[in-house]
Amino acid sequence: MRTALSWRGDVLVAALAFVALAVPAFALGVSSVHDFAVRFAIFGLLAMSLNLLIGTTGLVSFGHAAFFGSGAYAFGLLMQSGGWSVPAAILAAMAFTAVLALAIGTLCVRLSEIYFAFLTLAFQMLIHSLVISWVSLTGGDQGLMGGVPKPPFLGIDLGDARHLAMFSAFCLLVSVVALRQIVRSPFGAALRMLRDNPERAAFVGLSIFRYRLAAFVIAGTFAGLAGVLMSLYVSGAFPTFLYWTTSGEAIFMIMLGGITVFLGPLVGTAIFLVLNDRITNITEHHGLVMGSILLVLVLGLRKGLLDFVVDAWRERQEKRT
């Protein structure tokens, strides 16, 4: 009963959020909101999926962008080949990243901590090199060129900025609801147990390997969806998508927003994007300004923003009682 209720609660919140995004996009017709919504959905989804590994499972992956980029390339290549509808190509691209995550995960999740982090990084750089050198398929370092066709489906034309914004927001919200259900399910509880006390989990009969692998595949698949949205947004795919800096940015977003609160990564994404956009508009010394702000946040708060807010709020509640 409780699960059913929480399900409905989540969907309700998601629907409200969707309306909150849709109203400015459609009623006001403000184009800058469209762009922001798309990019927020892309990076929000990337950060949320990564946090399933970092926050919930306790596995810090440095190679998450491998799945982001693979999703983008897979989708772009399928659409360029012709004969694929957008939804079919999205599902196929997600399936492809899931299989890739399964293969990489099988080798990685046996390790933990720094070894896990470095092995994921290594696989990411391997895929990056593969994309760079397979020029005939991927276009090498110039990226997948020639545009990604977007034939309309079910009345949705993703070539239209408003439709793309709505579609991205929809994908993000559906994924967030799904991720939340996963995190709150018995499976999610098992992941947290693995994070906090793997020996105990093994002792009660949980297969550490299988649970971690499942989390790795789920996270990779959602990152693949984020990559699909990115490919739709820029009408192409570029090797930077699967470079370690993209993984680094996703980790940044999580650190900014907070890892323990479910929606922390989304807050981090919003902060990161707004900072990034404002700063590139006013200065060439992007790294210097961005770094200083992050330094202040990290040294000042010592945790993600949402973690900080929730902890402070809870402390106040406790004092009152």
Partner 1 sequence: MSQHDRGGIGRRSTLAAGAALGAAAIAGFPMIARGQARQPIKIGMPTILSGRVAQLGVSSRNAVMMEVERFNAAGGLDGRPIEVIVRDSRGVPAEAARIAREMITSDRVDLIFDAEASAGGFAVHEVVRETGTLTLHLNSETSSLTADPRQRFWNAFRVARQGIHDSIAGGAYAAEIVKARNLTRWMTVSPDYAYGRDTTAEFVEYLKAFAPNVQVIGETWPRLFQPDYTENVTRLTQGRPQAIYSCLWAGDLVTFVEQASLYGLFNQSQFFGVNLADYTTLQQIKALPRGMHSGNRYLKTFPAVPGNLAFAEEYNRRYQTFPTNWAWQSATAVSLLVEALRKVGGTDPRQLAAALKGMTIDSPFGADGKVTMRAEDQTLVGYAIGWGTTISADPFVENMTKADWATILRHEQDWKRSKGWA
Residue numbers of the site for partner 1 (CB under 8 A)?
A: 2, 6, 9, 13, 17, 20, 24, 30-36, 39, 56, 132, 135, 139-143, 145-148, 159, 161, 180, 183-184, 188-189, 192, 196, 230, 233-236, 238, 240-241, 260-264, 266-267, 270-271, 273-274, 277-278, 280-281, 284-287, 305-306, 309-310, 313-314
Any idea which residue has 């004092």 for tokens?
Answer: 319
- We find the least distance from the C-beta atom of residue 230 to partner 1, in angstroms, to be 7
The length of the chain, given as a count of residues: 321
- What residue spans of 161-207 are helical by DSSP H? 161-184, 186-196, 198-203
Nearer to partner 1, 36 or 108 (CB): 36
Q: How far is the CB of 89 from partner 1 (least distance, A)?
A: 17
Nearer to partner 1, 91 or 289 (CB): 289
Question: Which one-letter DSSP state was computed for residue 259?
Answer: S
Q: Report the nearest approach of partner 1 to the CB of residue 227 (Å).
A: 11
Tell me the C-alpha distance between 227 and 194, whole Å: 28
Q: How far is the CB of 50 from partner 1 (least distance, A)?
A: 16
Based on CB atoms, which residue is closest to partner 1, 119 or 227? Answer: 227
Q: In 10 A of CB 274, how many CB atoms?
A: 12
Q: Which is nearer to partner 1, 111 or 187 (CB)?
A: 187
Work out how close the CB of 106 gets to partner 1 at its nearest, in angstroms, rounded to a whole number: 26
Q: How far is the CB of 267 from partner 1 (least distance, A)?
A: 5
Cα–Cα distances (Å) from 65 to 72, 90, 158, 197, 220, in that order, read 10, 17, 24, 28, 9
Residues with Cβ within 8 Å of 75's Cβ and at least 6 positions away in sequence, in order, are: 89, 90, 92, 93, 148, 227, 228, 231, 232, 237
- Min dist CB 17 to partner 1, Å, is 7
Helix 208-234 × helix 161-184 angle, to 10°: 170
**In degrees rounded to 5, what are phi and psi of residue 237?**
-145, 140
Distance (Å, whole) CA 25 – CA 19: 10
Minimum CB distance to partner 1 smaller for 30 or for 88: 30
Measured CA to CA, the distance from residue 213 to residue 226 in angstroms comes to 20
Q: Pick between residue 85 and residue 311 the one whose CB is nearest to partner 1.
A: 311
CA 291, distance to chain mean position in Å, is 22
Our CB check for partner 1 shows the closer of 85 and 181 to be 181
